[in-house]
Amino acid sequence: MFKRLFARGLSLVILGTMLVAAALFGPFSQPSIEAQGATRFAGATKSSPIALNADDTLLAVVNTDVDTVTLFDVSNDRNLPLGEFSVGDEPHGVAVSPDGKTVYVTNAIDGTVSVLAVDIAQQPAATLIATLEVGTEPYGIALTPNGQKAYVTNARSNSVSVIDTATNTVIKTIVNIGPPVGAEPRGIAITNNSNDSDTDETVYITHFYAFANQGKLDGEDDSKTGLVTKISTETDAVIGQIILTNMPDTGFKATGDAIAGIAPGQEANQVTGAYPNQMQAVAIKNGFAYLPNVGASPNGPVRFNVNTQALVHILDTNTNQDTGQTINLHAAVKAQPEGPRKLFLAIPWAIAFKTNENVGYVVSAASNVLVRIQVDPATGAATVTNNPLDGSVLEIPVGRNPLGIVVNNTDTRAYVMNNISRDVTVLDITRFPEQIIATLRTSALPPAGSEEELVLVGKELYTTSVGEFANSFGNMSSEGWQACAACHPFGLADNVVWIFAAGPRRTISQHTDFAGGDLRALNWSAIFDEEQDFELNIRGVSGGAGLLLNADGSALEDGANIGGLVVGNPPALAVPNSSRGQLQVRTPSGGLVNAWDAIVAYIRTIRAPISPLSGSDDPEIEEGRQIFISNNCQVCHGGPKWSSSSVAGPVTDLALINGGQITSQLRNVGTFNPDDSNEVRANAARPPLGADGFVPPSLISVFFSPPYYHNGSANSLDDAMGDRFIVHRSAGTGGIDGLSDPESRRKLVKFLLSIDASTQPINP
């Protein structure tokens, strides 16, 4: 048995109008770009991993996994490669000057912007002319309408760098553009009033993660909300912030309400709300800003069709307020007539609009499609376009894991960057429905049978919601609703506290799973001892058919036999999921690999976020390190994982198990209060797991993932080390509080904020 990934007939190895490798990487005849030279973009600009110049002749796209940018001559549909050029480590964003002579690329790991001069009359067609140091982990970059400035969002250092493109120098860094914790600036959109000046525009910056609402309980459907920051191009200073409006009714009802104490029943009659999260992009049209995002609806019961939603928030740039007209793309799919199957629009990640028509396209990163929206120029309201043939949502298939889109100024072509298939889908958008007319290879796929190929397949499984497995739809989720990446963007955390079966659980970033080699006990309550145990999430949370098989190759039925560490009465150890059979995936080169083996290979590559304090010579950081040691914090947070938890393989000794938990992995440090109102299981039962303690979380890059503790009861590290949690901060000293001095705590927190993968571990 084997499985072929991805719906809509897009193959890993058969690419329509694919360019041969020699044309991309070797010598070729020089094309010409006749219209090069326009000096102003026609409409508002935005950040993206794919970009055009003002004349729609030069296309640039980043290749994040291989540290390159690829350029194409797309004038008159030539779609000819100009070459693939090395840039910095892990490029994410690209911008092209209006005249097409300069390309700017953000490099997240390096903390730099690569500046390339483009001259198609030369060989090579692009040359690196500058490398600009910006902030920590730059993601988005966008140019002002006349190309006089570039703005760069530095996700980890909570800042925006401003580049003067005439001199290619950083002229200002705008710091602390959002709340001081977890701001994560990402997407950029810049207005365009069509004059020669770039000092009279407004820059809109999205913050990737939502922020806590004061007085709200983590785990409630309105416990957080989104934020957009405004910057003036005249002063290069923050001039305001817009609080997004949460969706009070998603259009999907749950069978219960855990926090309200309503146990699941037979009827879905409980209204669910959602707040915006994972805001990676923003685009402006007709004076309105549109923000695709993954709506979080964390209250129990946990189930795919109520917990994540595909939202687009709409802001009025004149009043600088949310219009309250948020559209739910999932609800649009739900409303379509019954057909052979429904494909929901998981992880809306990017958006672009036509210039002269009120039409836009939202990119569904996990479902591998675009959805077309029509906008009202007067009110900003948006509606999803249906297929006139059958009334279903019009879904335009593209490549695998699309992360960016750009539309040309003449409204004839759209170009979609596909991250995993490493190509660009070219769409004729003069037709209805829109049609694929070319697929452009941007970078070579990994060698056949290589570890890189295995990792790429695992990354695809992790980020897709729509796998095709032996002609059956829905192994990863029901009807393409969500992916692993829906709660673990980039393999990290969405910073949401979900009301799971075990209780309230803040998402754990998977960059800590294999730190130091061996696996940590997984989940806050040590109920998983191998990555394959997340088969339960694929089946139970995402509603998928799963990836595991019985020993004879038959489908593994749902039931207690895959349900954690202990099953049966009397108790007995469960069969390790890593020893079961697995569905196989077709690789790009045509081979077959085990699905879970590929996923685990990918998880091992997930990198830790880089601390903005990493490598700092601030003496207070070293003082904080010594305070950490003197208070014996390393008893729980020491060693290469910065956590005492370690499991060498599936647990085989029943004596180590109690209540489905590996109790030896737990530490009780006073962070569990069963009377907290969110301490409830997904089925509304109390108490949840927690009385025996929790797995000590890894401190690697702990700075980036508030709130803290299993239930999000601390909004910051200052709060986590405060007087509410004396038992925790004195756990390493036998109850003696060595951190009563606020100055000592401040220095300790500064040290904690500096920890990332480069920090020397402290041994227990």
| DSSP label of 34 | T
Degrees (nearest 5) of the Cα angle 510, 514, 520? 85
CB 294 within 8 A of CB 308: yes
**Distances from the Cα of 121 to the Cα of 32, 36, 124, angstroms:** 8, 12, 9
Higher pLDDT pick, 654 / 414: 414
Those residues with Cβ within 8 angstroms of residue 122's Cβ, 6 or more apart along the chain or in another chain: none
Q: Which two tokens stand for residue 120?
A: 């198609």
- CA–CA dist 83, 104 (Å, integer): 16
Q: pLDDT: is 27 or 332 the higher one?
A: 332
Q: What is the mean pLDDT of residues 141-165?
A: 97
Distance CA 311, CA 373 (A): 12
Least confident of 294-298, 478-482, 554-558, 615-619: 554-558
How confident is the model at residue 468, as a pLDDT? 58
CB count in 10 Å sphere of residue 569:
7
Among candidates 222, 178, 225, which has minimal Cα distance to 204? 178
Hunting for tokens 């929790």 — which residue is that? 694
3-state secondary structure 418-463: ECCCCEEEEEECCCCCCEEEEEEECCCCCCCCCHHHHHHHHHHHHH
Burial 129-165, CB ≥16 within 10 A → b, else e? ebebebbbbbbbbbbbbbbbbbbbbbbbbbbbbbbeb
Tell the residue number behind the tokens 């970059």, with chain if given.
141
Q: Is the pTM of this model over 0.85?
A: yes
Three-state DSSP class for residue 629: helix
pLDDT 10s digits, 342-385: 899 999 999 999 999 999 999 999 999 999 999 999 999 999 99
User: Which DSSP letter does residue 611 get?
Assistant: P
**Residue (of 752, 734, 717) closest to 669 by Cα position:** 734
Fold of domain 619-754: Cytochrome Bc1 Complex; Chain D, domain 2 (1.10.760)
Kindly report, as residue ranges, where domains of CATH 2.130.10.10 are found in the chain.
21-444
- Tell me the average pLDDT across 237-245: 95
Kindly state the average pLDDT of the residues 90-112: 98
Cα(60)–Cα(69) distance, integer angstroms = 7
* pLDDT of 275: 97
Domain ranges in the chain with CATH number 1.10.760: 619-754
Per-residue pLDDT, 473: 65
Helices (H), 227-370: 304-307, 329-335
Query: Bridge-partner residues for 86, per DSSP?
Result: 68
CATH superfamily of 21-444: YVTN repeat-like/Quinoprotein amine dehydrogenase (2.130.10.10)
The answer to whether 56 and 74 are in contact (CB under 8 A) is yes
- Can you name the residues that pair with 280 across neighbouring β-strands? none
First-last CA distance in the chain: 48
d(CA 200, CA 233): 6
What pLDDT digit, counting tens, does each position of 302-322 carry?
888 899 999 999 999 999 999
Q: For residues 395 and 417, what is the distance between their CA atoms, to the nearest angstrom? A: 17
Q: Is the pLDDT of residue 20 over 80?
A: no
pLDDT at res. 550: 85
**Is 749 in contact with 742 (CB distance < 8 Å)?**
no
Given a contact cutoff of 8 angstroms between Cβ atoms, the answer to whether 407 and 414 are in contact is yes
Within 13 A of 476's CA, how many CA atoms are on the CB side? 33
Question: Nearest Cα to 545, choosing from 555, 530, 554?
Answer: 555
- Count how many Cα atoms sit within 13 Å of the Cα of residue 396 in the half-sphere of its side chain: 27
